[in-house]
Amino acid sequence: ASRQAAGIPGITPTEEKDGNLPDIVNSGSLHEFLVNLHERYGPVVSFWFGRRLVVSLGTVDVLKQHINPNKTSDPFETMLKSLLRYQSGGGNVSENQMRKKLCENGVTNSLKSNFAFLLKLSEELLDKWLSYPETQHVPLSQHMLGFAMKSVTQMVMGSTFENDQEVIRFQKNHGTVWSEIGKGFLDGSLDKNTTRKKQYEDALMQLESVLRNIIKERKGRNFSQHIFIDSLVKGNLNDQQILEDSMIFSLASCIITAKLCTWAICFLTTSEEVQKNLYEEINQVFGNGPITPEKIEQLRYCQHVLCETVRTAKLTPVSAQLQDIEGKIDQFIIPRETLVLYALGVVLQDPNTWPSPHKFDPDRFDDELVMKTFSSLGFSGTQECPELRFAYMVTTVLLSVLVKRLHLLSVEGQVIETKYELVTSSREEAWITVSKRY
């Protein structure tokens, strides 16, 4: 308690060594801990990760004071890099700018080059669901994870993943690494269990080794299929930078895509009206014609459905920045090197910014100002993180294919409980049923 929190409201460490980690564990998740802390102490709060002072920002207003549009490092990626203990890219602005541009090109080009493949995978899933009797319960999260793993691995890392065994191996290692960086580091439990730590390190090493081989293979050669990694390889980056950027992207885009698809379909099953509107838009835009990238751009209502999905699910509830020079928010001084959390999950359910925040209402994004606020948080527009842009596109294609032919229905009596990690998911399987439109 002798440690000073620079006058920022908040809590003192409950333990000398662990700081407030035990409080976070007791809250169930970092997000739930932050909800509570902001309720008690206001928009700017402080607490302790171990011996380190952390400041969390919990309203649009204070976040806008902190988000520097000139800063090129994405706060979600920054957080993942630090959790993976990756070192490169520490603040050199021109280098960060170049890496960001390469990632953006990678997203654009891999989507363009693989659009037909993405459509094919979506149609395979549709055929599978069309073959089910109407009473059959479909394990949505599991199917979406499978779909995301298959599509993302090939679009990011290429033809190695035409082999299903490679996808399964990747999924297993991905699961190990992702669950540990989401939980094991934050609550300090990974360092206390050598078995888990070894499993984590082995999985990470295997993923890195797969990526290294692919990077080597793609270097200095041209392929007809453009994958995400090609854009990094063709840029002026060293091997370690390519490895780190492709690792972050492949880890995060798989899970963000899987969860965005899952939540979007979940919300559609519980909101008949929204599903009907989406169906009408899809019919109006595509008619009986093919699904093309140009037409996909015209799906404005679908875009609002996905934004509202990200908001209602609080898809990525927390991101982070390191305070590089001393800063000020409201009357509070934020010391240099403070870890600053963006409590996005708190902000996305703030009733002062989003009237009836728990209602799933895509129409709220008809208002330009609302969309602008959402963009300023990094969920849309120019500040959007590349993984999310990628996920929006994949989900849009999938929804276009599914909603055109199927009614997506909820299973009566099912209560979906939420698990807040780096990316928000349902605690247990989310079941749905489907019925044919024709």
Ligand X SMILES: *[C@@H]1O[C@H](CO)[C@@H](O)[C@H](O)[C@H]1NC(C)=O
Q: Does residue number 221 form part of the binding site for ligand X (CB under 6 A)?
A: yes
Number of residues that bind ligand X (CB under 6 A): 11
Kindly tell me the sign of the dihedral angle through the C-alpha atoms of 211, 422, 151, 124: positive
Task: Tell me the sheet residues that pair with 333.
Answer: 328
* Entry field: residues in the chain: 438
Q: Does residue number 195 form part of the binding site for ligand X (CB under 6 A)?
A: yes
Least distance from C-beta 392 to ligand X, angstroms? 27
Nearer to ligand X, 102 or 313 (CB): 102
CA distance 188 to 181: 10
The DSSP annotation for 79-127 comes to: HHHHHTT--S-SS-HHHHHHHHHHHHHHHHHHHHHTHHHHHHHHHHHHH
Phi, psi of 298 (to 5 degrees): -85, -5
Nearer to ligand X, 78 or 275 (CB): 78
Among 64, 183, 196, 212, binds ligand X (CB under 6 A): 196
Residues 268 and 408: beta-carbon distance below 8 Å: yes
Q: Does residue number 94 form part of the binding site for ligand X (CB under 6 A)?
A: yes
Q: Does residue number 68 form part of the binding site for ligand X (CB under 6 A)?
A: yes
Site string for ligand X, 368-397 (x = CB under 6 A): ------------------------------
CA distance 148 to 244: 21
CA distance 254 to 155: 11
Nearer to ligand X, 82 or 199 (CB): 199
Least distance from C-beta 220 to ligand X, angstroms? 6
Q: Does residue number 358 form part of the binding site for ligand X (CB under 6 A)?
A: no
Q: Does residue number 222 form part of the binding site for ligand X (CB under 6 A)?
A: yes
Site string for ligand X, 165-194 (x = CB under 6 A): ----------------------------x-
Least distance from C-beta 102 to ligand X, angstroms? 13
Q: Does residue number 197 form part of the binding site for ligand X (CB under 6 A)?
A: no
CA distance 193 to 209: 24
CA distance 396 to 111: 12
Q: Does residue number 135 form part of the binding site for ligand X (CB under 6 A)?
A: no
Residues 333 and 339: beta-carbon distance below 8 Å: no
Phi, psi of 115 (to 5 degrees): -60, -45
Both tokens of residue 272? 């008949």
Of 54-62, 91-99, 257-265, 408-416, the segment contacting ligand X by CB under 6 A is 91-99
Nearer to ligand X, 85 or 221 (CB): 221
Which residue shows structure tokens 């809590």? Answer: 11
Among 95, 201, 350, 363, binds ligand X (CB under 6 A): 95
Residues 282 and 404: beta-carbon distance below 8 Å: yes
Nearer to ligand X, 102 or 148 (CB): 102
CA dihedral defined by 101, 104, 106, 111, rounded to 10 degrees?
-160
**What is the β-pairing status of strands 327-329 and 332-334?**
antiparallel
Distance from CA of residue 330 to its chain's centroid?
29
HSE (CB half, 13 Å, CA atoms) of 57?
24
Q: Does residue number 26 form part of the binding site for ligand X (CB under 6 A)?
A: no
Among 92, 213, 225, 284, binds ligand X (CB under 6 A): 92
Q: Is 385 annotated as a binding residue?
A: yes
Classify residue 27 as exposed, middle or buried by CB count within 10 Å of its CB (0-12, 13-18, 19+): middle
Least distance from C-beta 330 to ligand X, angstroms? 16
Least distance from C-beta 222 to ligand X, angstroms? 4
Nearer to ligand X, 2 or 70 (CB): 70
- Between helix 194-218 and helix 239-270 the angle, nearest 10°, is 110
Least distance from C-beta 329 to ligand X, angstroms? 13
Least distance from C-beta 225 to ligand X, angstroms? 14
Picking from 178, 159, 174, 148, the residue whose alpha carbon sits closest to that of residue 230 is: 159
Site string for ligand X, 247-276 (x = CB under 6 A): ------------------------------
Least distance from C-beta 134 to ligand X, angstroms? 40
Least distance from C-beta 72 to ligand X, angstroms? 11
Binding residues for ligand X, per CB under 6 A?
Answer: 68, 70, 92, 94-95, 193, 195-196, 220-222
Binding residues for heme: 385
Binding residues: 385
